[in-house]
Structure 1
Amino acid sequence: MTYRDVVSPQVLAWSLTAVASRLPVAMAPLALVFLVRERPGGYSLGAILAAAYVVGEIVGAPLLGMRLRPDRARPQLAAGLAAGSAGFAGLGLWPDAHAALLAAFALLAGGAPAGVAGGLRTLLTTLVPERAVQQALSTESLLMSGVWAVSPAAVTGLALGVAPRVPLLLGAVLMAVSVAGLWFLPAGWASGGADGKSPAGPSRARALVGAWPVFVTGAASITLLGLAELVLPALLEQRGIEVGWAGPLLAGLAVGSGLGAFLYGLRAWPGRLGTRSAVLMCGMSACVVVAALSPTTAGIAAALVVGGMLQACVLVTRNLSLREAVPPEAVAAGYSVMYAAASAGYAATGSLAGLLLKVTAPSTAVLAGVGLALVLTAAGWWGEVRPAGSTARGDRPVGRFADAPKAVAPGPEGPPIRGGGDAERRL
C-alpha cells in the first residue's frame, strides 16, 4: 500500500479546492473574535458570533448533506460555497453592523457550506482506485492538519498586522475560488441505485441512524481533542508554565496529527475497524491524561504530539468505517452528519470545560473529560460489534450492508483489490 495511486492532476485540483474551502472554516471562530474585540463587550460578542457560526455548521451539515444528489452534486456544492462566501463577505464588509446582523452573517457563513466537506470527501474517493481509499483519506487528513495548523497564525497576523476584517474577507475570496475549483473535478459520483437515482430521504435517514456508533466514536475523538485544546492555557497556568507556550504546543499537536495521518496510510493495519478505533481512542486518552498530569513543558508537548498522531488515525478509521456501515448513496450524507457530530462534540466540550473550570482544577477537568470520552468510545465500540454473526473470513461483523454488492474501502480487513476499472471507483 503506497501513495502512488493518490498522485494525479485531479487529486491535486481536489487538494487545492479542499484547502480553499476549508481554510476559511478553520479561521472563522478566531477571526470573529478579532473582528469585534474592540467594541464594547467585544469578547462576549465574539463568543456569541463564534457560537452562531458553529450552530450553523451543526444544523447545516446534516440538513444540506442529506439533500446532496450524486447526479448533480457540483451545482449544490457550488451554491453552498457561494452562499458561505457571501456570509464571510458580509462580516468583513460591515464589521460595525448590529450584532444581530453579524450573527445572521455568521450563521450563513457556517451553515451554507457545511455540507461541502462530505461532498468533497466523497468526490476524492472517486478519483482514486478503491484499493487506495485509505491513502486518499489519510491525504485529506494530512492536508486538513496543515490547514488547522496555519490558520491561527494567519488570523492573528492579518487581524493585528493589517485589519480585523481582513481574515474574513480572505475567507470570502478563498470560498469563491473553491467554487471555480469544482469545475476541475467530476460533476458528481455514482449513486449506487439500480435506476441511477439516490433513494428517498427517509431511506437514507434510516441508513444513517443505523450508523450511530461511527458518529459517536468520531464525536468522542473530537471531544477529547477539544478538551486538550480548550483547557491547555489554564493547565499551563496550573503548572506554573508560561501561557505563551499554548500556541507552540497546539502547533505540535497539529504536526503530530499530520504525521499520524501520513503514517496510517503507509500500510494495512490488523483488526476490525471498530476495535481499532477503540484501541486508538484508549491510546489517545492515555496521552491526554499524561498531558494533564505532567509537570513539565516537555512532557505535555510529547503527550500532545503523540495524541495528535493517534487522533488523526481515529478519524481516518472512522471514515473507513462509515463507508462500510451505510450504502453508497448515503456516504456523502454520512460524512456531513459526522461533521455535525464533531462540531456538536467540540461545542459541548467548550461548555463542559467552562463549567468544570469554575469548580475544579484544570487537570481534574481534563480527567473528567477523558472519562466521558471513554464512555462514548465504549458505547460506539459496543454498537459496532453488537450485530450477531460475521463474515466467512471472520474479520468483520455482518452489518446491514456488509454483504451488499458495493465497493467497500479495502483497508486492512482484506487483501488489496487489484485493477482500477470504473467499478472500483464508485462508492
Structure 2
Amino acid sequence: MHPALNSRTSCPPDRTSSRPLLAERHVARLLLGTLTGRLPNGMAPVAILLLVTEQGGTLATGGLLCALYGLASAIGQPVLGRMVDRHGQGGVTSAAVLVTTICLLLLPYVDAGTQPTLAAGLVVVAGLSTPPLEANLRALWSTVVPDPERQHAALTLDTGTQGLIYVAGPPLVATLSALHGPGAAMTVAAALGLVGAAMVLSAAPSRTWRPTASRAGRFFGPLHHGGLRLLFLAVGGVGFALGAMNVWAVAVADRHGMALLSGLIPAALSTGSLLGSILYGRRHWPGRLRGQLLAAAALFALAWVPLAANPPPLAATALTTLPGVFLTALITSAFLMVDALAPVGTTTEAYAWLIAAVGTGQAAGTAVAGLYAGQPAIGAALPAVGAAFTLAVLVGARQRLSSAGSTARRGRHRRDDGAEALVALRPPPPPSLPPHRLTPHC
C-alpha cells in the first residue's frame, strides 16, 4: 500500500479540508486575477455609451455599439474556448487579451459620429477577442483544489463573486468619467483587463495546464451532446431574466424619479448572489446533480414572482436579492452538469458555450424589455418569464441531463510520478453520483 494512504479508507489524509478556501495556494490569486481581468466586461459598455454621448452622438448609437460589444463577446467565447482546448491557455488567452486591449485603447480616438464603421469595427473585434478568463478558471479548479468537495466550494465562490464586476465596474467608470472623462475610463478598463489576465496567465496552474489529446465531438465539440444543447438553451433564459431586470430597474428609477435605483436594484441581485454562494457552499446538498439543478431552477423562477407584481421601489430593491440567492446555486449546478457531460477535450469550450448562452440571453432580454419599457406591468413580469423558460426547458430535458457513464475530464496538468500513482490507486467512483460527490470521504 502506498505510504500516503490510510489503511482503513484507502484515501490520502486530508490536511487542508479545515483551511479557508482562499488560503489554498493559487486560489486567491486566480480568483482576483480573473475578476480584475473581466472588469472590462462591466466597464466597457458604460464607457462606450459615455464616450459616444461626449462626442455628440446619440444614445441610440451608443446603445447599438454596446449591443454589438456584448453580442460579439458572446460569439467569441466558444471559439476561443475551443482554441484553448486544443492549444492551451497561455498563447490563446495572451493573444486575445492583447487584441482586445489595443481595440479598447483606440476607441477614445475614434469619433463614432463621423467614423461609425471604424468605431463599430473596433467594438466588434474587442468583443470577439474578449479573453475566456472565466472558462479558463473553471477548467483549473480540478487541480488547484483536488478534493471534489472543495472544488464544489471553489466553483460556488467563483460563481457568486463574478457578479461583482457588474457592481464595481459601472460606478468606477462613472467616477473616472466625472474626474477625467470617459476616454480615461476606457483606458483604465483596458489596463485592468491586461493586468488581471497577466495575474492569471503567470500563475503556475495556468502555465502548466495542458489540453487532452481527444477531439470528441469533432466539429460540433460539446454541442454534439443533446443534453448540453438543451442546457445551453435553458440558461439562455437566466440571461434573459438578468437583461430584462436591468432595463426594468432603469424604468423603475425613471418612473419614480430616483436615479439611484438603476444601480441599486442590480446591486441587490449581485449581493444576493454573493450571499447565495456563501450559503450554498457551506453544506453538502442531498440528491443527484440533475435534481439539484431542477430545484435551483424552480426556486429561481419562484423568486421572481413577487417582483412581477411591480412592487414599490424599496420593496423591489429588497425582493431582488431573492433571485440572486438562487442564481448562484443554479449557475453552479449548470457548470457542474457541463463538467459531467462534456466530451473529453472539450471542457473549456463547453464552459464558454454556457457563458455565451447567458450573455446571448441577456442581450435578448435587454432588447425585449426595452420595447416594453413604457409598460410597467409587462416589464416587471419579463424576468419571471425568462426564469420560467429555464425551468420548462430543464424539466423537458431531465432525461438527457444524466451524468451516468460520463467520462468528461478537464485538461491535464503535468504531475510527478508519485501524484500519478496516488491517483491511480484510488478506487473508481460510482458513475451515478454527481461530480462533487464522486470521491469517497476520508
Is the partner of 2:209 in helix, strand or coil? coil
Counterpart amino acid of 1:401?
S
CA distance in 2, matches of 1:26, 1:61: 16
C-alpha distance in structure 1 between counterparts of 2:97 and 2:52, whole Å: 24
Letter in 2 for 1:371: V
Q: Which residue pairs with 1:223 in the alignment?
A: 240
Partner-residue secondary structure (3-state), 1:37: helix
Residues 85 and 176 of structure 1 are in contact (CA less than 8 Å); yes or no, is this contact kept in structure 2?
yes
Asked if residue 88 in structure 1 is aligned to residue 126 in structure 2, the reply is no
Aligned partner of residue 20 in structure 1, secondary structure: helix
Q: After superposition, what is the alpha-carbon deviation per residue over 1:169-194, rounded to whole angstroms, capped at 9, x for unaligned?
A: 112212222343212233253545xx
1:286 deviates by: 2.7
For the Cα contact (< 8 Å) 2:341–2:403, is it kept in 1?
no
Q: In structure 2, do the counterparts of structure 1 residues 17 and 368 end up closer, same or farther at CA, with 3 Å as the change threshold? A: closer
Matched, 1:235 2:252: yes
1:293–1:363: 8 Å Cα contact kept in structure 2? yes
**1:68-125 residue CA offsets vs partner (Å, 9 max, x unmatched):** 2355321111111111111111113445671211111111211112533212321233
d(CA) in 1 for partners of 2:127, 2:408: 37
The answer to whether the 8 A contact 1:138-1:261 is kept is yes
For residue 189 of structure 1, the aligned residue among 172, 185, 209 is: 209
In structure 2, the residue matched to 1:105 is: 122
1:150 paired with 2:175, answer: no
Separation of aligned partners in 1, 2:156 and 2:433: 14
The one of 14, 25, 37 aligned to 2:53: 37
Amino acid at match of 1:90: L
Determine helix, strand or coil for the equivalent of 2:182.
coil
Task: Please tell me whether the aligned partners of residues 33 and 42 of structure 1 are also in contact (alpha carbons under 8 angstroms).
Answer: no
Residue 337 of structure 2: aligned partner: 321
**Partner residue, 2:283:** 267
Given candidates 387, 399, 404, the residue that maps to 1:386 is 399
- Native 8 Å contact 2:88 2:210 kept in 1: no
SS in 2 for 1:66: helix
- Matching residue's letter, 1:139: L
Return the alpha-carbon distance in structure 1 between the equivalents of residues 131 and 356 of structure 2: 8
User: Which residue of the partner structure matches residue 252 of structure 1?
Assistant: 268
In the alignment, the residues of structure 1 paired with residue 334 and residue 202 of structure 2 have an alpha-carbon distance, to the nearest angstrom, of: 29
Aligned to 1:204: 221
Kindly indicate whether the alpha-carbon contact (under 8 Å) linking 1:275 and 1:381 is maintained by their aligned counterparts in 2.
no
1:401 has 2:406 as partner = yes
* 2:376 is the alignment partner of 1:362: yes
Aligned equivalents of 1:357, 1:203: Cα separation in 2: 38
How big is the shift at 1:309? Answer: 1.2
Contact kept? 1:33, 1:50, Cα under 8 Å: yes
- Matched residues in 1 for 2:276 and 2:177: separation? 31
Q: Distance in 1 between matches of 2:238 and 2:438?
A: 28
Alignment correspondent of 2:40? 24
Q: What is the aligned partner in structure 1 of residue 6 from structure 2?
A: none
**1:332-382 deviation line (CA, Å, top 9, x unaligned):** 101111111111101111121122335xx2222332452343133211232
Once the two structures are superposed, what CA deviation does each residue of 1:295-339 show, in whole Å capped at 9, x if it has no partner? 333321221011111112211111111111113421110111111
What is the rounded CA distance, in whole Å, between the counterparts of 1:374 and 1:386 in structure 2?
Answer: 19
Q: Percent identity?
A: 22
Is the 8 Å Cα contact of residues 292 and 300 (structure 1) preserved in structure 2? no
- Show the 5 A alignment for 1:34-73: 34-69=50-85, 72-73=88-89
Greater Cα offset, 402-411 or 83-92: 402-411
Q: Does the Cα contact within 8 Å between 1:191 and 1:328 map onto a contact in 2?
A: no
What SS does the aligned partner of 1:113 have?
coil
Give 5+ residue unaligned stretches, structure 1. 388-395, 420-427
- One-letter code aligned to 1:227: A
Q: Is 1:13 aligned with 2:29?
A: yes
Which residue type is aligned with residue 169 of structure 2?
S
With 63-72 and 151-160 compared, the bigger mean Cα shift is at 63-72
Aligned residues: 404
Following superposition, the deviation at residue 199 of structure 1 comes to 4.5
User: d(CA) in 2 for partners of 1:183 and 1:409?
Assistant: 37
Instruction: Give me the whole-angstrom Cα distance separating, in 2, the residues matched to 1:6 and 1:70.
Output: 30
What residue identity is the alignment partner of 1:211? L
User: 1:377 is matched with which residue?
Assistant: 391
Moved more, 174-183 or 77-86: 174-183
Structure 2 residue matching 1:69: 3-state secondary structure: helix
| Unaligned segments of structure 2, at least 5 residues | 1-16, 410-427
CA contact (8 A) 2:104 2:190 kept: yes
- Is 1:175 aligned with 2:185? no
CA distance 1:205–1:307, shift in 2 (3 Å): closer
Cα distance in structure 1, aligned partners of 2:262 and 2:236: 23
CA contact (8 A) 1:146 1:254 kept: yes
The CA RMSD measured in Å over matched residues stands at 2.9
Change (3 A) 1:406 1:149: farther
Rounded to whole Å, the distance in 2 between the matches of 1:90 and 1:50 is 16
Contact 2:77–2:353, Cα closer than 8 Å, also in 1: yes
Contact 1:6 1:128 (8 Å CA) reproduced: no
The two structures have a TM-score, normalised by structure 2, of: 0.82
Distance 1:2 1:334 in 2: 32
